[in-house]
Amino acid sequence: MERAVVMTGIGGQGIQLIAKVLAQAAMREDRHVMMFGIFMGTIRGGSSDSTVVIGDGEIVAPPIVPSIWGVVAMHPAGIAALGPKVERGGVAVLNSTLVTAAPAWDAVRMLAVPATELAKAMGQPLGASMVALGAFARATGVVAVESLQAALGDVLPPHRRKLIDANRLCLARGAEGVADVMPARPSSGTST
């Protein structure tokens, strides 16, 4: 099985970071991974997208994937461009705090998660992307939430290690919000 997942948002939301955490978590589970990010030159506020392809075997997807199975959308800015690529049977986690209108994607399961609100309520306003990633992992089973939590130590630079515990809590909070929404592992129906 091979799954392509796109994280989209704006600079400053942690899009590139959650992509790295997802990729590292998949590697911890002995899966094959390819990751690439695209972001504007601005530090905050410019568009930011990252694609992670996870496979049980050698990845055959090209560097730019023609279709995507999963989406984590933190901001409405990049959603419209993804529409033509989203597969039927895919899953989208939408940060409903900022993405107030769900896209009309045919046969895609939409999960509205108020990630920004949940992170603020935890006293971790910068942890919204981790909340959304935890929700996506739990809802899809693409990786275990525990693998995401363990990957934080591999991905966060030394000056950010003090945030590992807070980010672990954000991942867990996102997972709690969708614990009963979908089965633990996706079926191997559609692949990328």
pLDDT for 187 equals 32
Mean per-residue pLDDT for 2-20? Answer: 93
Using alpha carbons, select from 111, 150, 132 the residue that is nearest to residue 8: 132
Structural domain total, the chain: 1
User: Angle 128-140/145-155 helices, nearest 10 degrees?
Assistant: 140
pLDDT at 182: 43
Domain range enclosing 143: 2-177
CB atoms within 10 A of CB 145: 22
Give percent of the chain with pLDDT exceeding 90: 74
75 domain residue, yes or no? yes
pLDDT band at 61 (very low <50, low <70, confident <90, very high): low
Regarding predicted confidence, which is higher, 39 or 172? 172
Any domain includes 39:
yes
Q: Is the pLDDT of residue 192 over 80?
A: no
- On whether residue 102 sits in a domain, the answer given is yes
Tens-digit pLDDT profile for residues 14-29: 999 999 999 999 999 9
Distance CA 8, CA 49 (A): 4
The predicted model gives 42-69 an average pLDDT of 83
